[in-house]
Chains A and B, each alone.
Chain A
Amino acid sequence: MDYFIELLFSGLTRGSIYALIALGYTMVYGIIGLINFAHGEIYMIGAFTAFIVATVLSIYGFPLLAIIIIAAVAATVWASAYGYTIEKIAYKPLRQAPRLSPLISAIGMSIFLQNYVLLAQTSDFLPFPELIPDFEFMEPVAHIVGSSDLVILITTTVVMLILTYIIKFTRVGKAMRATAQDRTMAMLVGINVNKIISATFIIGSALAAIGGLLIASHIGQINFYIGFIAGIKAFTAAVLGGIGSIPGAVLGSLVLGLTESFATGYISSDYEDVFAFSLLVLILIFKPSGLLGKSETQKV
């Protein structure tokens, strides 16, 4: 039973990290209909920035709380800046182009960013400083649920609530939903669509950066390649839930996280990634619109 609960929690932790990344995919897809292939790289850059800032601060001897806050702020700021710039360079000129062009551009961006980090930093696995301490009150259950699992679950829940608030009630959120429904109509009622698209990229990147920070301190090491696999898995989660749907992305991520956790726990850990990819292929065959997505009919 303990093993089951352990797997359950590790699945939920994985799932909530996937959710943070998947939200970026789903929001961008909802608004401009593009699979932002470079989104995984944003997550990686967020994790790397947090790593650099946290290590520098710890060398200078800052207290732990200050390190956590400054690293989190730096990661979100820089990741958002990257997200914003990528959109301006690689996607904005291609708004009117055929569907394939922005996708190829996004793949190019992803390869470019990976190798940029590889060249600017290193190809080795780097040890990520331990930001989340082991809480004393967690001691009795520490063999099942780690402290970092708890922190990840709480942080993601809070972040999701903030995101829901932004999307439901603020001006930007309303404008986003309007743009997602009908871009031309949104323009006609006076929404600055370019700004809203930029805002979407910034919010999505910030979420990915928080995910990157959390997972890096959970696993304890980072590498320039972490974004690729995480990006594909988060995309799988977004498709599973129905791409374009925000609750769908969260649900899909949790389902994917639990599936992976139980499959590796009870079947075999060698094929961890194969499970995720097979799940993706199966969903797309049997229910391409996902769990909560609306199926769209093609009009002529």
Chain B
Amino acid sequence: MLPLKEFSKALGVSLWFVFLTFPLMVVKVDPIERIIRYRWDNCAYVAVVTFTAYLLMKFYNLRKMRVGETKKEVKESKNIIHSILNNKKQMVVLCSIVLVIAAVFPQIFSSYQTNVMTTALMYVVLGLGLNIVVGMAGLLDLGFVAFYAVGAYSYALLNLHFGLGFWAVLPIGGGIAAIFGILLGFPVLRLRGDYLAIVTLGFGEIIRLILENWGEFSQGPSGISNIPRPGFFGMDLSLASSITYIYYLMVIGVIITIFVVNRLQDSRLGRAWIALREDEVACQAMGIDKRKTKLVAFSLGAFWAGIIGVVFAAKTTFINPASFTFLESAIILSIVVLGGMGSIIGVIIGALILILMPEYLRALSEYRMLAFGGILVAMMVFRPQGMIANVRRTYRFEKKE
């Protein structure tokens, strides 16, 4: 139980927040009509929310301390997910269940639901791509959406000017994005983490602003429409069946991505990334080429973003620069952070939660970005390792009988 002192503290905190939010939450002015509205009820909401939030936080801290005392318990309940991941048999069962659900999904649900699911799967791949850069290599990239835009625009433009099809552009779009990744990577190689974040953010904005203002090249803010959907061996598909088709493409895309990322993680390169993330100087001392390793991380992450960009352009058949704002980068980053940096299964679950939840809880969609911001802060403060923490590969010493 919480001591009484905490309650009076919580009262103080909630009063402070009422003061803090007073001008913005309570007063609303209309400067043209010259009307002032006072929304006093908001005062009460703020007070109640902060009061309970403070108590919950204290309660959480208290419990954490108690759990810390009995550490044994923690180890035993150390995540069901990890035990499944480590157990091959259970893993196979789980995977096949997920695969079956994925396969029959478009047959059971409407094409609207399928479309939503396709979007979620696209974000899974984007998240996994960013996970290479942020989670494994520890390079905070805030301009990830730029590569996504490069992929989308390369499909739209190559199709417009040269009539290239979806399948031809898919690798080209990824390749162009990867080249952009290297272009960005070169100058920022020497920078420390936080500078890197700002430069990538600036880079993302530059790309968007160029797309918006260079009308002759990108058709400006009005965007490019009538982008063809992917063809199926030369057949023309109806709208409903092409939605299903793109859905299956994305399912395959996700499987390939998971496979590749999983293999990368345990490869020489993946271990070099993790070493680089942990300590750059020590890593170089061990003979790892910092320049090459970082560049590969950038270009691989960008490659995935580019490919998904192509898919995005083909799926929506219309793109304009407004789809590629900083908020998009922030959403992808939230996915990686929420799921757990470096953890593949975490990123998948994170993407599904963050993309599907606002779709189905329409009432909450207004608060979507507010929640994303809050999630980033709360995850960093309470659970920096994410929902499902990445477990390092360790050798277990087992006694032979």
Q: Which A residues fall within an 8 A CB radius of B? A: 34-35, 45, 48-49, 51-53, 55-56, 59, 74, 78, 81-82, 85, 89-90, 93-94, 97, 99-105, 107-117, 119-121, 126-127, 129, 228, 232, 235-236, 239, 270-271, 273-274, 277-278, 280-281, 284-285, 288, 298, 300
Are the CB atoms of A274 and B24 closer together than 8 Å?
Answer: no
Are the CB atoms of B138 and A112 closer together than 8 Å?
Answer: no
Are the CB atoms of B24 and A120 closer together than 8 Å?
Answer: yes
Number of interface residues of B (CB under 8 A): 62
Contacts of A35 in B (CB 8 A): 194, 197-198
Contacts of A129 in B (CB 8 A): 31
Contacts of B376 in A (CB 8 A): 104-105, 107-109, 111-112
What 10 pairs between A and B have smallest CB-CB spacing? A108-B376, A112-B373, A111-B373, A277-B202, A105-B380, A108-B377, A115-B370, A285-B187, A270-B213, A55-B29
Q: Which B residues fall within an 8 A CB radius of A? A: 16-17, 19-21, 23-25, 27-29, 31-32, 34-36, 42, 138, 140, 142, 187-188, 190-195, 197-199, 201-203, 205-206, 209-210, 213, 281-282, 326-327, 330, 333-334, 337, 366-367, 369-370, 372-381, 384
Would you give the shortest CB distance from A114 to chain B, in whole angstroms?
A: 8
- How far is A110 from B376 in the complex, measured between Cα atoms in Å? 10
- Given A94-B380, A271-B213, A281-B187, the answer on whether A115 and B140 have CB atoms closer than 8 Å is no
Would you give the shortest CB distance from A287 to chain B, in whole angstroms?
A: 11
**Interface of A (DSSP majority class):** helix
Would you give the shortest CB distance from A147 to chain B, in whole angstroms?
A: 21
- How far is A49 from B25 in the complex, measured between Cα atoms in Å? 11
Are the CB atoms of B209 and A271 closer together than 8 Å?
Answer: yes
Question: Across the two chains, which residue of chain A brings its CB closest to B367?
Answer: A119
- How far is A209 from B213 in the complex, measured between Cα atoms in Å? 32
- Within 8 Å by CB of A85, from B20, B142, B327, lies B20
Report 25 cross-chain contacts, Cβ distance below 8 Å, ordered by A residue. A34-B194, A35-B194, A35-B197, A45-B24, A53-B23, A85-B17, A90-B381, A99-B194, A104-B337, A108-B334, A108-B377, A112-B370, A112-B374, A116-B24, A116-B370, A126-B31, A127-B31, A235-B198, A239-B195, A273-B209, A274-B210, A278-B206, A280-B202, A281-B203, A281-B206
Are the CB atoms of B193 and A103 closer together than 8 Å?
Answer: yes
- Within 8 Å by CB of B29, from A56, A104, A278, lies A56
Query: Given A55-B31, A121-B28, 14 other A-B contacts at CB below 8 A?
Result: A59-B36, A81-B19, A85-B20, A90-B377, A99-B193, A100-B138, A103-B197, A107-B142, A108-B372, A111-B369, A115-B373, A120-B42, A274-B209, A277-B205
- Given A53-B23, A93-B381, A298-B281, the answer on whether A108 and B373 have CB atoms closer than 8 Å is yes
Are the CB atoms of B369 and A115 closer together than 8 Å?
Answer: yes
Question: Across the two chains, which residue of chain B brings its CB closest to A45?
Answer: B24
Would you give the shortest CB distance from B34 to chain A, in whole angstroms?
A: 5
Contacts of B191 in A (CB 8 A): 284, 288
Would you give the shortest CB distance from A75 to chain B, in whole angstroms?
A: 9
- How far is A87 from B199 in the complex, measured between Cα atoms in Å? 24
